[in-house]
Every structure is written in C-alpha cells, then in structure tokens.
C-alpha cells in the first residue's frame, strides 16, 4: 500500500504545518489545490501537487487515486450564510469519499478534521464535552462541521474513517487568536459574555498535528472521533499571563461586553455583511459562539486510544508563537 498522504487545505494555517511535519518525517505528500488556491498555493519542494475543484469528480478522482491515507483539512470557518458553510464543510467531504469509493477502495484511512464547534459547548468547565455526548452545535459553522462528520460516517462501512475535533488552535501562522494578541499589545482585552467565568480548551498547532498523525495511523481509531486538546481548560487570565512577558504590557484594560450588546453588534454587522457580500467579523451566529461560558472538551479518549497528550505548556506555546509573529512582522 502507498505511503503517500493526500492533504487538503494544505495552504491554510493547520494544513501548512501538517505538510511540514509529514515532509520532516519523510512521508510522501500530495496536496489537493483548488482552482481558487492557485495564486497562493505554495508547497514545499518534493510535494506532489494535484489541482482539483471539489465539484469535479474526475479531478477529485485523480487526486485520491493511489494514496494510502487522506487528511481532509480544507474547510470554511467564515461564510456569509449557512449555504456557504455547507458548500465548504459538507460537499467536499462527500465528493472526496465518493471518489475514494470509486478510485481508491483500498484507502487505509480518511482523517476528517472537524471541530469542537460540531459538538457544541460544555455544560461545565470540566470534564468538558466528551465524544459520546450528544452534539448540540450553536452556530452555522458548528452545524456544517457536524453535517460533514455525518456525511463521512455514512461512508464508514466502505472507507476507514477517523474524525478529530480540535478546540481553538493557536500557533505560528494563526490569524484568529493573533487579533487577541494585537489587542493585548495595545493594552486592551475585549471579551464577550461573562468573560471572568468563561473557560475554553486550546491546543498548540504542533500538538494538534502530533495528535492527528497518531489518529491517522492508529487501528483503534477507525470509526472513532477524538478531541485533540490540551488537558486543561483555560480562562482569559491565563492567556493574559502567558502573553505578558513577550508583549510587555503593564496594565490591561479588560472590557467584558454584555451578552445583549454582543448580539446587537452581531445583528448589525451581520446585516452589513449581507450588503457587502463579505463574511462579518461577528454576526448573530458568531455572537452565539462567543457568549458561551464553556468551550471545553475532554482529552481522555485520545489519551486512552492514541496515547496522545498535548505537550506544549500554554506559557511556552504562547511565547514562541508571539516571537514568530514578531519575526514575521505580524505583530
Ligand atoms: N483554526 C482553528 O482554530 C480550528 C479549530 C477547529 C477546527 N478547525 C478546522 O481545521 C481545518 C483547517 O483550519 P485552518 O485554521 O487551517 O483554516 P484556514 O487557514 O482557513 O485553511 C483552510 C483551508 O481550506 C481551504 N478552503 C478555503 N475555502 C474553501 C472552500 N470554500 N471549500 C473548500 N476548501 C476551502 C483552503 O485551502 P486550499 O486553498 O489549499 O484548498 C484553506 O487554506 C478546517 O476544517 C477548520 O474547520 C480549525
């Protein structure tokens, strides 16, 4: 069986790190680039490039043919409406798996990168959501990721499928949590809802990649889903203290936006996005995510089945990420 791993979403934050790790481990890599990714599509030397639109069965067939495993990372985290999320997070899963069934029936593993958003928030900070809990996503993004999971599991009798659900991922290359660090550098931290009570799971991108590669190869992981997460739920205080040494801020102005205000802003900006045709930074849907108290999940199943433990302490991971941002001139 081929050692080659096909990676989708390879031009993104997590995907580029996955490709780097595979290349470092001397695993042959093929990447699927969409026509839209052509301009930005840079791949390390030695990586085979296959161009395909997800809606083109012949091209997707060529992309999946002959590989041993697939890591499907491509997806949409921002969209104007539900249809945009479905198009980015459900249809490509179905199209890839249909192509696998026809052109690569011996595939050893299809690893789908879903999200904690598919499971929804937890009722309490610990133990956080577990894989066996009934999913209850609170956003269009989360619903589309859950539908993507369900689509993948419909093929599970014919294709060995494994799902990983990361919580918030941080590390070199991330542009989302970067915005929080930019605020902090200016001496401000704005959070939504009851900021003091909020707890969230996070994972450093390199720990996530390690967990994903463990799931990709583990026999126990066939047909299973895993949260790949740090063992601890964090609060804003811990993130602030982790960032303080590198960012060097003294006093920090903490602003907690009341929930109704967050929803008000979401409604306004969401309506504006409908007019401009660009995804809003925040809309009502995003407000629903931002105001939850506990975005936490349990690392237990991944530890038990995959022997995975996130190694990077928050302080170390945040400091090295901030140094990377500074080197690249992002901060
Ligand atoms: N970052 C996080 O905190 C986080 C947390 C949980 C789960 N996830 C999941 O992890 C995956 C990767 O996230 P990321 O943070 O690396 O995102 P990212 O930087 O936005 O990368 C996603 C990649 O998906 C592809 N893509 C973009 N629009 C698409 C569309 N309409 N249809 C199909 N593919 C499209 C692009 O790759 P190409 O141009 O190469 O095709 C893009 O580089 C996503 O599935 C996301 O849902 C991320």
What is the 3-state secondary structure of 31-45? EEECHHHCCCCCCCC
pTM of the full structure: 0.96
- Joined tokens for residue 242: 């982790």
Is 181 a member of any domain? no
Nearest CA to ligand 1 atom 12: 73
Is 238 a member of any domain? no
How would you class 38 by CB atoms within 10 Å of its CB: exposed for 0-12, middle for 13-18, buried for 19 or more? exposed
Distance CA 187, CA 158 (A): 53
- Joined tokens for residue 142: 């989360």
Is 268 a member of any domain? no
Q: Which of 43, 75, 164 to mutate to test the pocket of ligand 1 (most atoms within 8 A of CB)?
A: 75
Q: Ligand 1 mean position to 249 CA, how many Å?
A: 32
Is 239 a member of any domain? no
How many domains are contained in the chain? Answer: 1
Question: Is 295 in contact with 127 (CB distance < 8 Å)?
Answer: no
Residue 42 is predicted with a pLDDT of: 58
Counting atoms of ligand 1 from 1, which one is nearest the CA of 72?
Answer: 45
Distance CA 317, CA 314 (A): 5
Counting atoms of ligand 1 from 1, which one is nearest the CA of 74?
Answer: 24
Q: Is the CB of 50 under 6 A from ligand 1?
A: no
Is 213 a member of any domain? yes
Is 37 a member of any domain? yes
Residue 243 is predicted with a pLDDT of: 97
Kindly report the CATH number assigned to the domain that includes residue 99.
Answer: 3.40.50.720
Q: What is the mean pLDDT of each run of 10 residues along the chain (331 residues)?
A: 95 96 96 82 78 97 98 94 95 98 98 98 96 97 98 98 98 94 93 81 98 98 98 94 94 88 83 78 85 96 98 97 97 93
Nearest CA to ligand 1 atom 13: 14
Is 265 a member of any domain? no
Q: Ligand 1 mean position to 104 CA, how many Å?
A: 24
Is 197 a member of any domain? no
Nearest CA to ligand 1 atom 36: 9
Cα–Cα distances in Å, from 70 out to 44, 61, 247? 18, 13, 39
Residue 133 is predicted with a pLDDT of: 98
Question: Is 143 in contact with 137 (CB distance < 8 Å)?
Answer: yes
Q: Ligand 1 mean position to 30 CA, how many Å?
A: 17
Distance CA 33, CA 47 (A): 12
Domain hosting residue 16, numbered range? 5-173+203-230+296-311
Distance CA 214, CA 216 (A): 5
């Amino acid at each position: 069986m081929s050692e080659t791993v096909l990676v989708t979403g390879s031009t993104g934050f997590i995907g580029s790190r996955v490709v780097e790790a595979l290349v470092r481990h001397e695993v042959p890599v093929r990447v699927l680039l969409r026509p839209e990714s052509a301009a930005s599509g840079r791949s390390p030397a030695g990586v085979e490039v296959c161009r395909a639109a997800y809606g083109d069965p012949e091209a997707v067939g060529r992309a999946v043919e002959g590989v041993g495993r697939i890591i499907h990372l491509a997806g949409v985290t921002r969209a104007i409406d539900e249809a945009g999320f479905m198009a980015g997070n459900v249809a490509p899963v179905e199209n890839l798996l249909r192509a696998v069934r026809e052109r690569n029936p011996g595939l050893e593993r299809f690893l789908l990168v879903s999200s904690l958003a598919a499971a929804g928030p937890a009722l309490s900070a610990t133990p956080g959501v577990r894989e066996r809990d009934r999913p209850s996503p609170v956003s269009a993004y989360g619903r589309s990721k859950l539908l993507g999971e369900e689509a993948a599991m419909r093929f599970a009798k014919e294709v060995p499928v494994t799902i990983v659900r990361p919580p918030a991922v941080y590390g070199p290359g991330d542009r989302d949590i970067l915005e929080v660090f930019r605020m902090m550098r200016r001496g401000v931290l704005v959070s939504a809802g009851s900021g003091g009570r909020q707890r969230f799971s996070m994972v450093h991108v390199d720990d996530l990649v390690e967990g994903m590669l463990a799931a990709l190869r583990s026999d126990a992981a066939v047909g299973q889903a895993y949260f790949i997460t740090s063992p601890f739920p964090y609060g804003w205080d811990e993130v602030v203290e982790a960032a303080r040494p590198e960012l060097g801020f003294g006093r920090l102005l903490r602003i907690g936006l009341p929930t109704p205000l967050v929803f008000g802003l979401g409604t306004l900006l969401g309506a504006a996005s409908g007019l401009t045709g660009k995804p809003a930074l925040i809309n009502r849907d995003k407000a629903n995510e931002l105001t939850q108290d506990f975005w936490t999940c349990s690392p237990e199943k991944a530890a038990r089945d995959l022997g995975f433990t996130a190694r990077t302490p928050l302080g170390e991971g945040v400091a090295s990420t901030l140094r990377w941002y500074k080197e690249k001139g992002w901060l």
